[in-house]
Amino acid sequence: MLQEHFDATIARNDRIEPRDWMPDAYRATLVRQVAQHAHSEIIGMQPEGSWIGRAPSLRRKAILLAKVQDEAGHGLYLYSATETLGVSRDELTEMLLSGRQKYSSIFNYPTLTFADVGTIGWLVDGAAICNQVPLCRTSYGPYGRAMIRICKEESFHQRQGYELLMTMMRGTDEQRAMVQESVDRFWWPSLMMFGPPDADSPNTARSMAWGIKRNTNDELRQKFVDMSVPQAEALGVTLPDPDLRWNEERGHHDFGQPDWEHFMQVVKGNGPCNAQRLAHRQRAHDDGAWVREAAMAFARRSEQERATTERAAS
């Protein structure tokens, strides 16, 4: 009966809400995906955050600060959405820090120049938008609603990145070379953000049947490539893929495959910055211990005061 109600809700493309019955595997898949997404937003603050103190102007610094703060906010909405599935924020943080839950592979690469701030905005946030717009229609209510606001902010992020790169491309030869070099480093990792090819994606079929994912990894990767090619042309940069060309018959661009063996290594924790990212996150968690303790002490005291006032009133 409960299963039938759940199946009918999914079939109608209606939302599943926290108090509705749901299969254990549906809940577990959502916890895995939404937590991984939340962790990505929080870890994703690090690569760009390292440029806040070195931004070339006050304007660029203010923009970057706002963007990195948005990412903290996205992490919070997504942790809250995950909590509605019955896991606490403490448990989720523990799973990230112990390596039992993942975060996006893209954040395991260094940001070597200020052009990387622009490239992350253009390509990484561009890939995120491609992946996340369909998630606004995901079957789990709290996740879909969080995604609506996140996508609005992501589109500001992408534009600021593109505008930054455009400004650099109108500058000196050295600045143009810096942009090209940055795009060369970030292109392939951006394609990897969409996950393994469909044939090697163990979760896609079931997540699509449940309406958690609305498109396959390869469909979204194709959409991203088709979207990026004219943007690269307008910018005046070359995408580092010799196999990239328009296919008239398919009405899409053909493109080369990323190095999937390298991707698996990054996902397993062996990427260029995995250890650094987790160590930094652990340090921030330890440094924040006093804030959590103070908040708990404040909550306990407020509760005691409330109880005392109530007793006095009765």
Rounded Cα gap, residues 298 and 304, in angstroms: 10
- Specify which residues 252 forms β-bridges with: 247
| Residue 308: CB minimum distance to ligand BYC, A | 45
Does 32 participate in binding ligand BYC (rule CB under 6 A)? yes
Residues 144-183 that bind ligand BYC (CB under 6 A): none
Nearer to ligand BYC, 81 or 192 (CB): 192
Across 121-146, b (16+ Cβ under 10 Å) vs e yields bbbbbbbbbbbbbbbbebbbbbbbeb
Stretch touching ligand BYC by CB under 6 A, among 35-43, 80-88, 228-236, 274-282: 35-43
Stretch touching ligand BYC by CB under 6 A, among 4-12, 123-131, 165-173, 241-249: 123-131
Does 125 participate in binding ligand BYC (rule CB under 6 A)? yes
Per DSSP, the residues of 157-172 read HHHHHHHHHHHHHTS-
Does 85 participate in binding ligand BYC (rule CB under 6 A)? no
Does 102 participate in binding ligand BYC (rule CB under 6 A)? yes
Interior CA angle at 46 toward 40 and 48, to 5°? 105
Given a contact cutoff of 8 angstroms between Cβ atoms, the answer to whether 85 and 27 are in contact is yes
Given a contact cutoff of 8 angstroms between Cβ atoms, the answer to whether 82 and 35 are in contact is yes
Q: How many residues bind ligand BYC (CB under 6 A)?
A: 28
Nearer to ligand BYC, 115 or 128 (CB): 128
Nearer to ligand BYC, 140 or 194 (CB): 194
Nearer to ligand BYC, 147 or 176 (CB): 147
| Residue 103: CB minimum distance to ligand BYC, A | 7
Does 36 participate in binding ligand BYC (rule CB under 6 A)? yes
- CB count within 10 Å of CB 11 equals 9
Given a contact cutoff of 8 angstroms between Cβ atoms, the answer to whether 238 and 72 are in contact is no
Given a contact cutoff of 8 angstroms between Cβ atoms, the answer to whether 295 and 282 are in contact is no
Interface pattern 186-225 for ligand BYC (x via CB under 6 A): ------xxxxx----xxxx--x-----x---x--------
The tokens describing 232, both together, are 């690269």
Given a contact cutoff of 8 angstroms between Cβ atoms, the answer to whether 119 and 182 are in contact is yes
Catalog residues that contact ligand BYC under the rule CB under 6 A. 32-33, 36-37, 40-41, 44, 71, 102, 104-105, 124-125, 128, 131, 192-196, 201-204, 207, 213, 217, 267
